A = this chain, B = another copy of it.
């Protein structure tokens, strides 16, 4: 199968680069150097460019991966047969939970999100997150329990409040329970019909 292939591209290396880039961006912002990323990933400087043709490409791909990771996290174990509130609570808990469990990923995602360079792939990634949420919630928009609204508005509300709460908890972990709860009440009030 690979008889004529000199050496296959290594998924392990690619992932190491992406993981290291996440930490580097969390630590130093978008100014994180490719040299440092390669070194910390345990590959040669030039190897990084075998996997990602430019630094911008690396950052775009990383953005997509992180967004996909988050999207996957909120979809995992989704209790599709429960009532809306239960299901939304799942989204809430998992959204905030992902950020708290993966502080570097969260930080890198925040920084990448404001870069001009990733703006081209941003809409696409947002569409995927939104589509994922849509598949879980859209049907409920006509149930009367939720305020009628475009699905991307609903998706945006969840993410905006989720980000805020994650950030506040990250600054003071002792408030985790209180803010997670308060945040959930806030979200439910924000999007429910009444």
Contacts and interface: CB of A to CB of B under 8 A. Distances in A.
Interface in A148-173: 149, 152-153, 156-157, 159-161, 163-164, 167-168
Nearest to A154: B186
A9 B111 CA distance: 35
Contact of A114 (B110, B147, B157, B182): B110
A103 interface: no
Interface in A113-142: 114-116
Contacts of A111: 114
Nearest to A157: B186
Contact of A28 (B110, B116, B182): B116
A29 B115 contact: yes
B185 A187 contact: no
Interface string A37-65: 00000001010000000000000000000
Copies of this chain, how many? 4
A147 B137 CA distance: 26
A176 interface: no
Given A29-B115, A156-B167, A189-B192, 18 more contacts: A6-B44, A110-B114, A111-B114, A147-B189, A152-B168, A153-B186, A156-B164, A156-B168, A157-B161, A157-B164, A157-B186, A160-B163, A160-B164, A161-B161, A161-B190, A186-B191, A189-B189, A189-B190
Query: Interface size bucket, A side?
Result: 20 to 34
A167 B116 CA distance: 15
A153 B175 CA distance: 11
Contacts of A187: 190
19 contacts: A29-B116, A30-B31, A31-B31, A110-B114, A111-B114, A114-B114, A147-B185, A147-B186, A149-B182, A153-B179, A153-B182, A157-B186, A160-B160, A160-B164, A161-B190, A186-B191, A189-B189, A189-B190, A189-B191
